[in-house]
């Protein structure tokens, strides 16, 4: 016996997605603009995304000290940042809550990370970017378009990100 109320709700959900899908799909990666934000770095200095974008494309990586795949991804992102120095920048946004703040700098150091680490303890920016799992990595063109979103980290993911970055740099989207 089908629970009629349950079925009505599920059907209403399905129909609403049919109607809303095409309208919402216009906001696909590549069309969506990155939202500006200001966060403090580990020294307490404010960093604003639009200022960083003025120098070229930016990779935003949301991570936390307790996240195993994040710890695998960060050293590879560091290599990418070194390789593309002057052409693109990587910002590592820690969503560790304020209670874990003491661990952030030591974790970054032990992993050999010299990337700018920004603090989003209240997850305000993570919420703005609708991050529901970590790591989540965004590739943002200098004009603010979000070109790619990577959820999670799997071996080889950074190579894919690198080819997307190369494509973006080849497009020549300048500030």
Kindly tell me which of 69 and 169 has the beta carbon lying closer to other proteins.
69
With tokens 């919402």, the residue in question is 24
Rounded to the nearest 5 degrees, what angle is found at the Cα of 153, between the Cα atoms of 95 and 68? 60
End-to-end Cα distance, the chain: 61
Q: What single DSSP character describes residue 99?
A: G
What is the SS3 assignment for 142?
coil
State CA 81 to chain mean position distance.
15
Least distance from other proteins to the Cβ atom of residue 66, Å: 3
Least distance from other proteins to the Cβ atom of residue 116, Å: 16
Kindly tell me which of 41 and 169 has the beta carbon lying closer to other proteins.
41
Least distance from other proteins to the Cβ atom of residue 85, Å: 20
Beta sheet of 58-63, edge-to-edge order: 117-119, 89-94, 58-63, 136-140, 146-151
Least distance from other proteins to the Cβ atom of residue 171, Å: 16
Kindly tell me which of 90 and 139 has the beta carbon lying closer to other proteins.
139
Kindly tell me which of 7 and 166 has the beta carbon lying closer to other proteins.
7
């Amino acid at each position: 016996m089908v629970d009629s109320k349950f079925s009505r709700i599920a059907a209403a959900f399905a129909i609403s997605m049919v109607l809303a899908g095409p309208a919402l799909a216009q906001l696909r990666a590549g069309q969506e603009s990155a939202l500006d934000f200001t966060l403090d770095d580990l020294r307490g200095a404010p960093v604003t995304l639009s200022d960083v974008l003025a120098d070229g494309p930016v990779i935003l990586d949301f991570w936390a000290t307790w996240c195993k795949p994040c710890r695998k991804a960060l050293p590879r992102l560091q290599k990418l940042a070194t390789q593309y120095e002057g052409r693109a920048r990587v910002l590592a946004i820690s969503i560790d809550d304020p209670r874990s703040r003491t661990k952030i700098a030591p974790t970054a150091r032990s992993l050999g990370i010299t990337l700018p680490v920004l603090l989003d303890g209240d997850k305000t920016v993570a919420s703005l970017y609708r991050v529901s799992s970590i790591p989540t990595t965004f590739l943002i063109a200098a004009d603010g378009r979000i070109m790619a979103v990577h959820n999670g980290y799997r071996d080889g993911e950074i190579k894919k990100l690198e080819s997307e970055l190369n494509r973006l740099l080849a497009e020549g989207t300048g500030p």
